[in-house]
Amino acid sequence: MIQLSYLDYSAVEGKSFLHRLSPTLKIIGMLVVLFVIVTVRSLPGLFLLYVILLILFLMAGIPKKIFSLTLYPLIFVFLFIFLSGVQIFFILLVFLKVLCGSTGVVLLLASTPYPSIFSVLGRVLPSSFVMALFLTYRSVFILLNVLEETQHALYLRGGVQWKHPWRSLINTSNAFGHLIIRGIDASEKMYESMNLRGFKDKIHYRGE
């Protein structure tokens, strides 16, 4: 999740052709990728799509560090392999679908600033939903700072140690509790500052 800030940095600071492309076109492109994933059942077809996405990833100059984010969903897929027994075709099919989907969404997020994505979504989805999405995304960054501070404090004081699992669990849970309380406090302040800036049921994006 720490890579979230890299994603955002890449989306805002990137200068490649993919970054310059209209957000609407990129979202349509993502929908096409999704359509292929849902409908195509041949390994060569999915492999070709994955190669195309990898080429786009390299050409867009997205930081290599972000690439690991596209592999993260594979951890969970292992559980579903047991559904079919060890069928090589099924495993490869599932792996390729996972990789295409995760590479597609990471490409979209690493090349498009999130206000632009939410602005496009706001044209087709209910404003309350897009607002909730925007506030959540914003809150993730606020809480990420709190989480990093708390994590540093915990590690510096030896709060998380494998030798003392129970104490570590208590400290980690207290960190989550701290995160929740700080989050609720921050949400109250956020609402007040939004009101002061003239917030009335809708967030307006730059260019609207």
Partner 1 sequence: MSHIHLPDGILPIWLWVSGYIAVILIWATLLRFMKKDNLTKRLPLLGMMAAVMVLGASVEIIPIAYHVNLTVISGILLGPSLIFLATFVVNVILALFGHGGITVIGLNTLILSIEGVAGYFLFRFLWRLLRRLTLATFLATFLALAISTFAMIGVVSLGTSHYEELIHQEEEGMIGFEFGKEKEAHQKESAPEKEVNLKRFISIILPLGFIGWVLEGIITVLVTRYIQRLRPDLLRLEG
Closer CB to partner 1, 14 or 104, in the complex: 104
Q: Among residues 23, 26, 49, 97, which is the contact residue for partner 1, using CB under 8 A?
A: 97
Q: Among residues 137, 154, 160, 168, which is the contact residue for partner 1, using CB under 8 A?
A: 137
DSSP code of residue 157: T
Provide the H-helix boundaries in the chain. 4-13, 17-20, 23-39, 43-59, 67-71, 74-84, 88-111, 114-124, 127-156, 165-196
Q: What tokens does 73 get?
A: 């969903």
Binders of partner 1 among residues 22 to 81 (CB under 8 A) are 34, 37-43, 69-70, 72-73, 75-80
Task: Rule CB under 8 A: say whether 160 interacts with partner 1.
Answer: no
Closer CB to partner 1, 21 or 182, in the complex: 182
Q: Are residues 1 and 98 in contact, defined by beta-carbon separation less than 8 angstroms?
A: no
CA angle 64, 17, 10 (to 5 degrees): 35
Minimum CB distance to partner 1, residue 92 (Å): 10
| Residue 165 CB burial class (10 angstroms; 0-12, 13-18, ≥19) | exposed
Binders of partner 1 among residues 164 to 203 (CB under 8 A) are 169-170, 172-174, 176-181, 183-184, 186-188, 190-191, 194, 201
Closer CB to partner 1, 21 or 190, in the complex: 190
Beta strands in the chain (DSSP E): none
Q: Among residues 53, 60, 98, 120, which is the contact residue for partner 1, using CB under 8 A?
A: 98
Minimum CB distance to partner 1, residue 183 (Å): 4
Q: Residue count at the site for partner 1 (CB under 8 A)? A: 75
Three-state DSSP class for residue 158: coil
Three-state DSSP class for residue 106: helix
